Amino acid sequence: MFCKKMKQIPVILAGGRGERFWPLSRIKTPKQNLALMSEKPMILETYQRLKSFDEFFIIANKTLCDSFQPLLPPKVGYIIEPVARNTAPAIGLACSYLQKKFGDCVVFFETADHYYENPGHYVEEIQKACAFAEKSDKIVLLGIQPDFPHTGYGYIEQGELIQDSFYLVRNFKEKPNYETAVEYLEEKTYSWNSGIFIAKASVLLKEISKYLPKLDKILSELKQSEFQEPTLSELFKDAPKISIDHGIMEKSKETVLLKTPLVWDDIGDFNAIARHFKGDNNENIIRGKGTLHALNSSKNIIISDKLVALIGAENLVIVETNDALLICRRSETQKIRDIVKNLDEKYR
């Protein structure tokens, strides 16, 4: 008997504003809408990687979704997240909504700030994961084979081999120090945790019912209300504020690792630019329409449309916009968010 293949639906978690990219990223021009890695906005690059799939959904708040629409084709669907409650409630809402709309389906969750050297290879790995998830009722975690000791990512330790490139998950590891990251690289049994995962909507909702019963109750009530306002906002604000990793993945017995050789990066702060763009002989990188004249200066990242002159500057990030200027050490970029919190709203 012919068995109809389930729909495979990419869902982009696009709720973050990208404060570590201030002053480029603002409330009205979030990171997803910036052309950081090419001439195209990152949200459009994400769509174009995955446009071969019949459906494509984004989950974010209304303001962000409204900002994406002019950049994307009409085929894109939007799931409005009424209030930010971290990734577990957002993913639960998306699964519940898509299951009601399409019946059970294979969903895979990705963010709009990932970079792939070979997008076609990435899609092949996703399709492989979708096929496995549909047949096995497992949650497939996309792991990236490390090629250097990265201290900015979490790691997944692989267990027993199931079949080609698919492993049981033995353990999750938080972001390591450099010495530990070197050990992970040498042992060859650890993958970077990309944060991308693939599963049937029913499987994810079953795990939510098991480990996050309060969220499960809210999702059931939302489904009965057809996800309509004001019920959506009234109920969703009471959802537990917890990440999918802490709420589900680290507890679930249904996770499987797909170890991939993808060349991948999480574009999390300005330092990512230095990993993907060639600098001058002293590793100074300038982006934008500006030009750089540097003397005794090295390893600086500059984004400007002006002529920039540097003397004796090292390891700095310098970003200039019409109304703001950021100067910080490259080692301090994680603290840009702290500055943004203290700014008047018109500058955020």
Assigned domain for 2 exists: no
Does pLDDT of 346 surpass 70? yes
Assigned domain for 245 exists: yes
Query: Does residue 201 share a domain with residue 55?
Result: yes
Query: Does residue 99 share a domain with residue 80?
Result: yes
Per cent of the chain over pLDDT 90 is 91
**Dist CA 341 CA 318 (whole Å):** 19
Residue 87 makes CB contacts below 8 A (sequence gap 6+) with: 13, 243, 244, 245
Residue 177: both structure tokens together: 């120090």
Query: Does residue 69 share a domain with residue 216?
Result: yes
Mean pLDDT of 79-102: 97
Query: Does residue 60 share a domain with residue 209?
Result: yes
Map 145-156 to HEC letters.
CCCCCCCCCCEE
Pairing of strands 316-320, 325-329: antiparallel
Last residue of a domain, one of 237, 266, 295: 266
Assigned domain for 1 exists: no
Assigned domain for 147 exists: yes
pLDDT at residue number 56: 98
| Domain total in the chain | 2
| Beta partners for residue 185, in sequence order | none
Last residue of a domain, one of 219, 245, 266: 266
**Dist CA 178 CA 204 (whole Å):** 34
Which amino acid, residue 236? F
Q: What is the span of the domain harbouring residue 93?
A: 8-266
Does pLDDT of 212 surpass 90? yes
Assigned domain for 82 exists: yes
Assigned domain for 146 exists: yes
pLDDT at residue number 207: 99
Radius of gyration from C-alpha coordinates of the chain: 21
Query: Does residue 275 share a domain with residue 303?
Result: yes
Residue 48 makes CB contacts below 8 A (sequence gap 6+) with: 40, 119
**Dist CA 54 CA 200 (whole Å):** 16
Query: Does residue 278 share a domain with residue 258?
Result: no
Q: Which tens digit of pLDDT belongs to each residue from 243-279?
A: 999 999 999 999 999 999 999 999 999 998 888 999 9
Assigned domain for 42 exists: yes
Mean pLDDT of 200-218: 98
Per cent of the chain over pLDDT 70 is 99
Can you give the CATH number for the domain in which 83 is found? Answer: 3.90.550.10
Candidates 20, 31, 19; CA nearest to 332 is 20
Residue 198: strand, helix, or coil:
strand
Query: Does residue 283 share a domain with residue 229?
Result: no
Last residue of a domain, one of 234, 266, 298: 266
Query: Does residue 252 share a domain with residue 301?
Result: no
Assigned domain for 3 exists: no
Helices 213-224 and 87-102, packing angle to 10 deg: 40
Does pLDDT of 3 surpass 70? no
Asked if residues 306 and 290 have their Cβ atoms less than 8 Å apart, the reply is yes
pTM of the model: 0.92
Query: Does residue 252 share a domain with residue 278?
Result: no
**Strands, sheet with 316-320, edge to edge from the N-terminal-most edge strand:** 285-287, 301-303, 316-320, 325-329
Q: Which tens digit of pLDDT belongs to each residue from 153-193?
A: 999 999 999 999 999 999 999 999 999 999 999 999 999 99
Mean pLDDT of 284-299: 96
Does pLDDT of 81 surpass 90? yes
Asked if residues 270 and 333 have their Cβ atoms less than 8 Å apart, the reply is yes
pLDDT at residue number 16: 84
Does pLDDT of 2 surpass 50? no
Q: Which tens digit of pLDDT belongs to each residue from 213-234?
A: 999 999 999 999 999 999 999 9
pLDDT at residue number 28: 85
Query: Does residue 120 share a domain with residue 67?
Result: yes
Query: Does residue 301 share a domain with residue 335?
Result: yes
Mean pLDDT of 105-132: 96
Does pLDDT of 4 surpass 80? no
Asked if residues 206 and 110 have their Cβ atoms less than 8 Å apart, the reply is no
Query: Does residue 219 share a domain with residue 116?
Result: yes
Candidates 230, 209, 229; CA nearest to 219 is 209
